[in-house]
Structure 1
Amino acid sequence: MYLSTFIFFLESYMLPCLNKKFFGIDCPGCGAQRAFSLLFQGEFAAAFEMYPAIFTIIPLLGFLLADNFFTIKYSNKIIITLMVSSVVLILGNYILKFL
């Protein structure tokens, strides 16, 4: 019951993309909010289609949070790998939107 209320709350308060509103073109972050909402609904394939980088951004944020509290071996390499893969997915998705 609480999860459905949270999902409804997420969907009703999504922020509009100002870049798309003013200029008419998507920004590199367009679709991230909807993909996050789809993840909470359990629709993983739809979330990947909406915004592929969501599957690297969430672990990156979780790892950055854990790295503040615990000493993790090779944390710099893991962070850099997750950041580079996120940027590659974001830019790749952005370029594919225009093709």
Structure 2
Amino acid sequence: MYYQMEKYMIPCLFKKTTGIDCVGCGFQRAVYMVFTGDFKDAFYMFPAVYTTLLFFSIVLLNFIDTKRNYHKLIVVSAIVNVLIMIISYIYKMYNLY
């Protein structure tokens, strides 16, 4: 299903030059899967997809709702997101080879 959209997605320059997946590889396809309702496969494609979308939502909310301070929430969600991305990347690299 999502293979039809791959021709419209931005290619990963890191993977094109090195042949190795980067930490963010699979994010675009995972977001597309979320928006088409394929939630389980989106998680398997990129485990940090939900925390990344939550982080972007909080950042957007910070720009929209300027009366409140979302700084701590942004920092905490960024740290959690980066940790999930790194752990899932290490897991993917050790299970591929």
TM-score category of the 2 structures, normalised to the smaller one = 0.7 to 0.9
Q: Deviations over 1:33-88 (max 9, x none)?
A: 11011011101111111111110111111111111221235x22211111011100
Q: Normalised by the size of structure 1, how large is the TM-score?
A: 0.81
Using the TM superposition, give the Cα deviation of residue 12 of structure 1 relative to its aligned residue in structure 2, in angstroms: 3.2
Percent identity of paired positions between Structure 1 and Structure 2: 37
Matching residue of 2:56: 61
Unaligned residue ranges in structure 2 (runs of 5+): none
1:24 aligns with 2:19: yes
Q: Which runs of 4+ in 1 moved over 6 A?
A: none
Unaligned residue ranges in structure 1 (runs of 5+): 1-6
Once the two structures are superposed, the pairs formed by residues 81-96 of structure 1 within 5 Å of their partners are 81-96=76-91
Structure possessing the higher relative contact order (Cα contacts under 8 Å, 6 or more residues apart):
1
Total equivalences in the alignment: 92
CA RMSD of aligned residues (A): 1.9
